[in-house]
Amino acid sequence: MRILVTGASGVVGTEVAERLAAEAIGASGADGPAAPALVRTARRAAGGDAGPVPWDIGAEPAPAPLTGRPWDVIVHTAASTRWTMTRQEATDANIRTLRAVLSLAGPDTHVVHVSTAYVGGVRAPEDLRGEEFEGYRNGYEWSKAACEEIVATEHRGPATIVRPPLVLGRRGDGRIGRFSGPYSLFPALVSGLAAVVVGDPDGYAEISPVDEVAEVIAGAALGTPPGSPRTEVISAGQDSMRLSDLVRITCDTLNAFRAEHGVDPIAQPPTVSTDSWNRFFLPLAGQWLSPVQQEAVKLLAMFQSYTSMSEPFEPTHKVTDPGGVMAASVLHWARSKPRQALGRTVPWTLIDAA
């Protein structure tokens, strides 16, 4: 079995490639089917026999090692996950790259496409960011929805769509290849830039450990291809954390780490409803907050609708004990970034912009 993994240097791609490589090693001396032959690609890669094949997908033709005959399985994890993309940027980053990858697939190639759980679910009117994204929160979601449609309708062979929620570190030790996305919340809480949390305290906050996301993807890649397009949703469902749980667990874990090092605890910020924030507090931000504080407000506003959903997702793969995953991820970040985790909290101060 020949398996191609794109985006093998990304958070999910790294974990998937490691798991598939381990499966190949484990199968190499066993009776039965031959071990899978794994090839990885990354936009920035040194190349060589052991490393990923360099390929800036969509911007340049596929390199020779990837062409010649169709792959048995293509696992497409490469994507831009930026929530600030314009429609054109999202098209170039995600839709055009998908089509380039599909050009390497044949009618028998099983395409395992990594999407996002936020393509589905309930979106409140205040979550939406304009008509250009057609009912989705941002360009990332919109492009991922378009990609799912392309895979389901244009690919001639079997297809599996995998939808993870916000991805955090491994369940056991919190390790992750790169701190991005939700990890920006942790230094904001320590520094005091996250002076308030905007959202519904009882809203659902869906997360998944990266190793379980990789497990679902690898299982699809190595399993029997589906007869029709299949969608896997990774979620804790009704057992998801609430926003209040997420903030409490994060602050408690940070404060336990700070106590071990003799540093004063941080205060858990109050929660303000999205409606109150947008109608009353946000209009004052431009006049009374410093430029750094305003940037923090914009950054944290992106998480509002992702951490206080009115309904959780319906899982096909159930995430258990998401609170434990959260605590392990926060602790790993703190141990990896002790200067930030042990930093001094500076309360918001108002300035007169007049």
Kindly report the average pLDDT of the chain as a whole number.
89
Who has greater pLDDT, 194 or 293?
194
Instruction: Determine contact, residues 103/67, Cβ cutoff 8 Å.
Output: no
Determine the pLDDT at residue 353.
Answer: 42
Distances (CA, A) of 135 to 47, 86, 113, 129, 198: 40, 14, 22, 8, 22
Determine the pLDDT at residue 354.
Answer: 41
Instruction: Determine contact, residues 225/110, Cβ cutoff 8 Å.
Output: yes
SS3 264: coil
Specify the range with the lowest mean pLDDT, choosing from 238-247, 286-295, 323-332, 336-345.
Answer: 286-295
Q: For CA atoms 104, 106, 111, 115, give the dihedral sign.
A: positive
Please determine, for residue 313, whether its predicted confidence score (pLDDT) is greater than 60: yes
Q: How far apart are CA 320 and CA 307, in angstroms?
A: 17
Q: How far apart are CA 96 and CA 112, in angstroms?
A: 17
Please determine, for residue 5, whether its predicted confidence score (pLDDT) is greater than 80: yes
Question: Which band of pLDDT confidence, cut at 50, 70 and 90, is reported for residue 48?
Answer: low
